[in-house]
Amino acid sequence: MNPRRLVGMAAGTFGISWLVRAAWGIPSAMGASVSAIAPTARGATTYRNRQFHNTEPSTQISGSMVEVLYQLATQRNHGRPPGVIPLEQPALPEQAGDLAVTWYGHATCLVEVDGYRVLTDPVWSERVSPSALVGPARLHPVPSPLEDLPPLDAVLISHDHYDHLDRDTVDGLVSTQQAVFIVPIGIGAHLRHWQVPEDRIVELDWAASVSLSELGRDRGDGTDLVITCSEARHFSGRGLVRNTTLWASWSITGPTRRVYFGGDTGYTKAFAEAGARLGPFDLTLLPIGAYDKHWPDIHMNPEEAVRAHSDLCVGDPGYGVLVPIHWATFNLAFHGWSEPVQRLVAAAQEAGTRIAVPKPGQRIDPIGLPPRDSWWEDVRQ
């Protein structure tokens, strides 16, 4: 047989094999169908015409699509770090503390509040995509295996985008933990599609709350934890159809400490409303990355995160501690890798806001903050 034909056949076989592997598992990873989600969504605060809506006008993409495509072609690698991102092995106490957070990267945080442990937006997969071979890949490894997590009391999900809701991680948590999944309305359908037990799913609308004692999951010593679904300004979708599930931020309130998890959101008046109703917050976990002039309504920039912290602390920018999330782990925009944290440091200093910027895997105790470590400045080739 002609050698060129052999090479062509081999290349074709490799290409087909690669496509099969790239497509493997995509239907399951995408989650529940629109028809499966709709019954739980009906009657929700902002649900109409089979979609959820922001309460403030919010455009997902503004400006010229030609310019966006040009940026994608010419600036897509700007968000990659110039060197190796340092990790810390999580140093977790046997008993959860009164107030602490361990940042695993992006929006994945292990929060300790009054002796309870809550995990936010857990993503342990290599890519944030329905495909294991295509899509944004990690810029640093996960600091420790999923199996090394201590017993959790709750898992919070902000919305159903792949960088916040990961099927394989959910599967792992179902088999290694007993914690309840507390999610915005509609996301329960995804969890049921992935065989999460019904008694481990709680769906909430904006402004609704649930306590661990209500769920029979408190410690039984009179100490309770209340989790409130708060309004965010974003969108949802795991395929071509968008906004079939709700998006949210979360407040985590114990007897003595209050934590606010922003998830993924643009700046919104809902921060001030949450601060007035539930704050002031001792710790805010707020997104600072993946912003761009073409989507200003749905992703905050660092200066807006500092402003949001002040809102959540009832107008006092010096109250509590802001820990930035949603940066450094995945390349999802066109800004430089360390630009978000550099802008955050400057904005926080001007506003008088205390910040702590952990390395992936580092545990931060806001009561006894360590000296500021500008570790991102040392990320070099």
Tens of each residue's pLDDT in the chain, 381 residues: 555 554 454 445 545 554 545 454 688 999 999 999 999 998 899 999 999 999 999 988 877 677 777 677 777 778 899 999 999 999 999 999 999 999 999 999 999 999 999 999 999 999 999 998 899 999 999 999 999 999 999 999 999 999 999 999 999 999 999 999 999 999 999 999 999 999 999 999 999 999 999 999 999 898 999 999 999 999 999 998 999 999 999 999 999 999 999 999 999 999 999 999 999 999 999 999 999 999 999 999 999 999 999 999 999 999 999 999 999 999 999 999 999 999 999 999 999 999 999 999 999 998 777 667 899 999 974
Contact 243, 207 (CB under 8 A): no
What does the pLDDT look like over 106-115, one tens digit per residue? 999 999 999 9
42 phi and psi angles, rounded to 5 deg: -60, 135
Q: Which CATH architecture has domain 99-378?
A: 4-Layer Sandwich (3.60)
Please state, in angstroms and rounded to a whole number, the distance separating the CA atoms of residues 123 and 170: 8
Q: Omega into 86 within 30° of 0, i.e. cis?
A: no
Angle (CA) 318 321 322, round 5°: 105
**Residue 7's pLDDT is what?**
42
Q: Is the pTM of this model over 0.85?
A: yes
Tell whether the torsion through CA atoms of 312, 316, 317 and 321 is positive or negative. Answer: negative
356 phi and psi angles, rounded to 5 deg: -135, 130
**Residue 76's pLDDT is what?**
77
Say what percent of the chain tops pLDDT 90.
81
Q: For residue 41, how far is the Cα from the chain centroid?
A: 22
Residue 350, burial from CB neighbour count under 10 angstroms (0-12, 13-18, 19+): exposed
Where are any strands of DSSP class E within the chain?
47-48, 51-52, 99-105, 108-113, 116-120, 154-156, 180-184, 201-204, 209-211, 226-230, 249-253, 258-261, 283-287, 321-325, 363-364
Task: Using only the alpha carbons of the chain, give its radius of gyration.
Answer: 21
Block residue for tokens 């999802």: 332
Q: For residue 336, how far is the Cα from the chain centroid?
A: 20
Residue 373, burial from CB neighbour count under 10 angstroms (0-12, 13-18, 19+): middle
Q: What is the side-by-side strand order in the sheet with 283-287?
A: 209-211, 226-230, 249-253, 258-261, 283-287, 321-325
137 phi and psi angles, rounded to 5 deg: -105, 160
**Residue 21's pLDDT is what?**
53
**Residue 180's pLDDT is what?**
98
Please state, in angstroms and rounded to a whole number, the distance separating the CA atoms of residues 18 and 20: 5
Helix, strand or coil, per DSSP, at residue 172: helix
**Type of residue numbered 327:** W
Block residue for tokens 């503390």: 97
Helix, strand or coil, per DSSP, at residue 45: coil
